[in-house]
Amino acid sequence: MVRAPKGTHDVLWPASSRWEALVAAFAGRARRAGFGLTITPMFEDARLFRRGIGGQSDVVNKEMYEFTDRDNRPLALRPEGTAPVVRAFVQHHPPVPWKAWYVTPAFRYEQPQAGRYRQHHQLGVEVLGTEDPDLDVEVIALAAGFYADLGLREIDLAVNSMGCAEDRPRYIAALSEFLAEHASELCDEHSERYGVNPLRVLDCKRPECRAVTELAPRLVDFLDEACAAHLARVRSGLDALGIVHRLEPRLVRGLDYYTRTTFEFSATALETAQNAVGGGGRYDGLAEAIGGDPTPGIGFGIGIERLLMACDAEGCFAALPHPPHAFVIDLTGGEQARDLVDELRRAGLTALRAYDGRSLKSQLKQADRSGARYAVMIGAEELAAGVVTVRPLREAGGEKTEQETVARPEITARLRELTGEG
């Protein structure tokens, strides 16, 4: 049997109704903050990601789905959402500040595990054209507010600053020196390889490394005046908006383009290893790195699958059913149902029907299963008399009502009245 590729999954109805609601909630928040939906290609010139994300990152180095098309163009399925949006900005130079939101699949060749897939989906925003720290606050507040909209309470927000191009080399030098002195205390993985990318060691979760990095020099102590002031303004802004967060000097995100503000949201209710439900930061050098004018930018990505896992863990954001208004039952051959569902739908009602000329019992069973509030029955008697029978299928407001006979021309109006859709 042909199955979905490893690490991918289907989201079938009705489970997908949660996705609809999730995206709608995010779109609403984004729209209110001045963001517009942005759609960019699912695949890009592979060089965009190499230059943008960075050649030494794992994402580019060993996780990209790369291929060449029939004209030998080097292409890659997008492993993340930021670089393509920044590319679109550079290509079209819209007026700044440019605020874009997106929802997109992302592809990474990984070993699947809880909360990690080869195709996952992200919601995100990007803003190009300003380095105002109040914007950082606004962007973080957007994500935080969205989590709250879903009913999530157990969200940890870690914030750090990666400094700028001047700060970073000074810090990396100091960190390397420190790690060299403590190399023997690091975990097996890093004791000999800390030099490749010293910042990575800060990310290591092994107790040995944690113990060492606990005492390591902190990037925040190496910030120049402007970067320090920027971070301070971001933090005071978060405080002012009541957004609880903590400074995490070891927060080093795996994509190379980050500068200054970085942040990560974790769902502490998740007991799985992958509990980061959103992350992002500033990337003031990215536009230039991919060939555009120097333009500051900031954004975040939120993983939909992990977010829903977090909602499950907290028991919030349950799927809401969408019960149909009516289920049309036709015992006379189907023409009546064909015409009536069309009429009801034109009137704005949700109308379903059965097919294949099933028995009354079978059709009523389907009507019941559909969750419809009313069955509209048309048999030989109704057809001859020019009426339909409207049968309530569930108690509305605790009140039990009897089925009634309605003149055929009146049925749409009657159903609108009964369902309160008038």
Q: Which residues sit at the interface with RNA, rule CB under 7 A?
A: 1, 3-4, 6-9, 57-59, 80, 106, 108, 110-117, 120, 122, 189, 200, 203-206, 252-255, 264, 272-279, 301-303, 305-306, 331, 358-362, 364-369, 377, 379-382, 389, 391-394, 403
Q: How far is the CB of 356 from RNA (least distance, A)?
A: 8
Q: How far is the CB of 247 from RNA (least distance, A)?
A: 18
Of 93 and 358, which has the nearer Cβ to RNA?
Answer: 358
Cα separation, 20 vs 344, whole angstroms: 24
Of 7 and 97, which has the nearer Cβ to RNA?
Answer: 7
Q: How far is the CB of 64 from RNA (least distance, A)?
A: 12
Residue 298, SS3 per DSSP:
strand
Evaluate whether 282 touches 298 at the Cβ level (below 8 Å). Answer: yes
Which run of H or E residues covers position 277?
Answer: strand 276-282
Q: How far is the CB of 124 from RNA (least distance, A)?
A: 8
Q: How far is the CB of 162 from RNA (least distance, A)?
A: 12
Bond prior to 95 in cis (omega within 30° of 0): no
Q: Rounded to the nearest 10 degrees, how much is the dihedral formed by the CA atoms of 23, 29, 33, 37?
A: 10
Of 237 and 299, which has the nearer Cβ to RNA?
Answer: 299
Cα separation, 32 vs 195, whole angstroms: 45
Of 7 and 94, which has the nearer Cβ to RNA?
Answer: 7
Evaluate whether 182 touches 204 at the Cβ level (below 8 Å). Answer: no
Q: How far is the CB of 289 from RNA (least distance, A)?
A: 17
Q: How far is the CB of 240 from RNA (least distance, A)?
A: 25
Residue 363: name the closest of 348, 376, 345 by CA. Answer: 376
Mark residue 317 as left, alpha or beta (left: phi above 0; alpha: psi -120 to 50; beta: remaining).
Answer: left
Of 200 and 236, which has the nearer Cβ to RNA?
Answer: 200
Of 88 and 158, which has the nearer Cβ to RNA?
Answer: 158
Residue 151: name the closest of 45, 64, 22 by CA. Answer: 22
Of 94 and 154, which has the nearer Cβ to RNA?
Answer: 154
Structure tokens at 413: 């109006």
Structure tokens at 273: 């290893």
Cα separation, 238 vs 293, whole angstroms: 30
Of 13 and 69, which has the nearer Cβ to RNA?
Answer: 13
Evaluate whether 419 touches 413 at the Cβ level (below 8 Å). Answer: no
**Maximum alpha-carbon separation in the chain:** 95
Q: How far is the CB of 368 from RNA (least distance, A)?
A: 3
- Single-letter amino acid code for the residue at 206: R
Evaluate whether 392 touches 373 at the Cβ level (below 8 Å). Answer: yes
Q: How far is the CB of 121 from RNA (least distance, A)?
A: 8
Q: How far is the CB of 229 from RNA (least distance, A)?
A: 26
Cα separation, 289 vs 169, whole angstroms: 18
Of 110 and 132, which has the nearer Cβ to RNA?
Answer: 110
- Single-letter amino acid code for the residue at 273: A
Q: CA angle, 60 as apex, 56 and 65 as ends, to 5°?
A: 160
Of 178 and 257, which has the nearer Cβ to RNA?
Answer: 257
Task: Quote the DSSP letter at residue 221.
Answer: G
Q: How far is the CB of 107 from RNA (least distance, A)?
A: 9
CB within 8 A of 77, min separation 6: which ones? 42, 43, 64, 65, 107
Structure tokens at 111: 């070993």
Structure tokens at 14: 């009705």
Of 90 and 377, which has the nearer Cβ to RNA?
Answer: 377
CB within 8 A of 187, min separation 6: which ones? 204, 206, 208, 209
